[in-house]
Amino acid sequence: MKDPYLLHVFSPTKYVSPFDINMAYEAKYDAVIPYCNVTLDEIHPLTQDTIFSRSPVGVKRTGIFIGGRDFHLAIDMLNAARQAMVPPFEVSVLADPSGAITTAAAMVALAEHWLKKTDGSDLRGRRVHVLGGTGPVGNCVGLLAASCGAEVYLVSNRGEREAQASADICNARYGCELRGAAGGAPGAIAKMLEDTEVVFNAAKAGVRLVDAATLRGARRLRVAADANAVPPSGIEGVGAKDNGVALETTGGVARGLGALAIGDVKYRVHTGLLSQMHDASRPLYLAHEEAFALARSIVG
């Protein structure tokens, strides 16, 4: 094949996610080449090996995808790859570790969409709790919601100190103002949901954190978004396919967003960003801000 479209996938983990490989072929790359156990300081030489070995036409048909499980490390790797470019030997780079960036972009864009649709408002000034907020999806949801002007709490099952430590790392790195909250003690989530307007569940798959009784007490709740696709749902009463379905347990006031509805937007953001790289005439560097912009345009 002459001048094939190649996607090099750099991952700090033992395996490259099969999900990411499938997505890359869906986005029409001719070959997807995985690299495992990649360290941050290996990104520079790997990137230069990638760019210098192709003709000017070939270099336009080459991309780098940063995977893994760690949101902050993936951003560092994207920046390291960018610094290794030597124009005109320069290729596009997308970071999406564990699907966290595209999933978070989909969750926050959908929540914003339903706030607008139901009462003409948005996330500005909203009190938001992110369950599983210390994970890769949770961190990214937190910082995107904060970028929309929300008052965001990252919730940890392990306690406030761990939650605040995770929030402090995000605040130092991305200039946001996230706060930590403890969710592990009995009744802790019910108490925080009494006064929250948007809850995002980004906790480990297959764990139910919010039951119907908790939702009945969540009198200010407007949106409940649940990323967990593994039964039972993370938020009771939110169906996997729900996209803005009125939650009965909140008197129909709050709207539910289920994992498959989120996944549908996530899929379109993920393949859409890969297609942008595939089709671009100049190099693109894509992470949470670009993913969120695309999710907003898909949802809006």
Ligand X SMILES: NC(=O)c1ccc[n+]([C@@H]2O[C@H](COP(=O)([O-])OP(=O)(O)OC[C@H]3O[C@@H](n4cnc5c(N)ncnc54)[C@H](OP(=O)(O)O)[C@@H]3O)[C@@H](O)[C@H]2O)c1
Can you give the binding site for ligand X, defined by CB under 6 A? 98-100, 103, 132, 134-138, 156-158, 162, 202-205, 207, 209, 227-229, 259, 262-263, 266
Min CB(221)–ligand X separation in Å: 19
Strand arrangement, sheet containing 6-10: 31-35, 6-10, 62-66, 92-95, 285-286
Min CB(133)–ligand X separation in Å: 7
Q: Which residue is nearest to ligand X (CB)?
A: 135
Q: From the CB of residue 202, how many other CB atoms can be counted at a distance below 10 Å?
A: 28
Closer CB to ligand X, 62 or 228, in the complex: 228
Closer CB to ligand X, 50 or 134, in the complex: 134
Closer CB to ligand X, 33 or 229, in the complex: 229
In degrees rounded to 5, what are phi and psi of residue 94?
-125, 130
Min CB(101)–ligand X separation in Å: 10
For residues 296 and 144, what is the distance between their CA atoms, to the nearest angstrom? Answer: 12
Min CB(149)–ligand X separation in Å: 23
Closer CB to ligand X, 46 or 104, in the complex: 104
Closer CB to ligand X, 11 or 157, in the complex: 157
For residues 269 and 249, what is the distance between their CA atoms, to the nearest angstrom? Answer: 31
Min CB(60)–ligand X separation in Å: 30
User: Mind giving me the DSSP string for 187-203?
Assistant: THHHHHHTT-SEEEE-S
Q: Which residues neighbour 84 within 8 Å (Cβ) at sequence distance 6 or greater?
A: 43, 44, 45, 47, 48, 51
Say if residues 19 and 271 touch (Cβ distance below 8 Å): no
Closer CB to ligand X, 22 or 53, in the complex: 22
For residues 109 and 27, what is the distance between their CA atoms, to the nearest angstrom? Answer: 22
Min CB(204)–ligand X separation in Å: 4
